[in-house]
Structure 1
């Protein structure tokens, strides 16, 4: 029987685990965001338990010069979920001016805050001993 205990968190309470431009902290996320930004955004949405295609709505609004609603909304939701200090104005500015850096930061945050469970495997050891022989039975 296995029991699961949460592992230790690597992130300080109330802070983003990495800064907005800390791309070199996680090169895999940086490359993922650079080469396939929409895929990264959809991954973040899915890990936040939202519909994977939600960030694709941002494409519709990008031509109008608007704040990308999915990037902004998920950033606010992530700050609220993890009690990260910040402001709505900051979230608007980051989502509008540095949207791909914002998605990368959110992806790094989810990776670091995903408290990997520690699995403890407990096995019952049963010692089987042969039954005592009561007598010798002879069959003819």
Structure 2
């Protein structure tokens, strides 16, 4: 299992998880919404986060300012370092890779963002915990 203080995968390790990679490249608003719901521990829904992301992307192009806040929250929850640089710079210049890394991080830590916060907590309380995802190369 992954420990606090280190990222489970690197920023450019998108090929480590084919499903996360495809989701974040083709539907970033969904990937971000799912991640944000889990990071916020269910206080706001995936739909609300994803919709705000989409509106910001369509009308301002500055959705990276919104998404970088959740990278910071995720880092603080797991005591992760700022890598390779400041969270806002990572999201402004490499947003798809950042979203993919964050989605993978939650999965590697036993929280599947596609389940949402409530279902993840329900599975954990029942003793059903996702096994960690393999760190091997993707086989599509």
Q: What TM-score bracket applies, with the shorter chain setting the length? A: 0.5 to 0.7
Is the alpha carbon distance of 1:32 and 1:67 closer, same or farther for their aligned partners in structure 2, counting shifts above 3 Å?
A: closer
Please report how far the alpha carbon of residue 109 of structure 1 lies from its aligned counterpart in structure 2 after TM superposition.
Answer: 0.4
Trace 1:19-34 onto structure 2 (pairs within 5 A): 19-34=10-25
Extract unaligned runs of 5+ from structure 1: 1-9, 121-140
Which residue pairs with 1:131 in the alignment? Answer: none
The alpha-carbon deviation at position 101 of structure 1 amounts to 1.2
- Aligned pairs, number: 110
Q: For residues 39 and 119 of structure 1, do their structure 2 counterparts lie closer, same or farther at Cα, with a shift above 3 Å needed?
A: closer
Contact 2:65/2:88 (<8 A) preserved: no
Normalising by the residue count of structure 2, what TM-score does the alignment of the two structures yield? 0.65
Question: Could you say if the C-alpha distance between residues 92 and 119 of structure 1 is closer, same or farther in structure 2, counting changes exceeding 3 Å?
Answer: closer
Choose between structure 1 and 2: higher strand proportion. 1
2:99 is matched with 103
Q: Deviations over 1:49-97 (max 9, x none)?
A: 243222433444446464623311110000000011227x610101111
Task: Quote the residue 1:91 is aligned against.
Answer: 87
Which residue pairs with 2:118 in the alignment? none
3-state secondary structure, aligned to 1:40: helix
Q: Which residue of 2 aligns with 1:46?
A: 37
- TM-superposed CA distance for 1:37, in Å, is 1.7
Pairing 1:74–2:70 present: yes
Q: CA RMSD in A?
A: 2.6
Structure 2 distance, partners of 1:27, 1:96, is 23
- What is the match of residue 56 of structure 1? 51
CA distance in 1, matches of 2:33, 2:9: 20
Q: Confirm whether residue 13 of structure 1 aligns to residue 4 of structure 2.
A: yes
Matched, 1:114 2:105: no
State whether residues 44 and 106 of structure 1, in contact with CA within 8 Å, keep that contact through their aligned partners in structure 2. yes
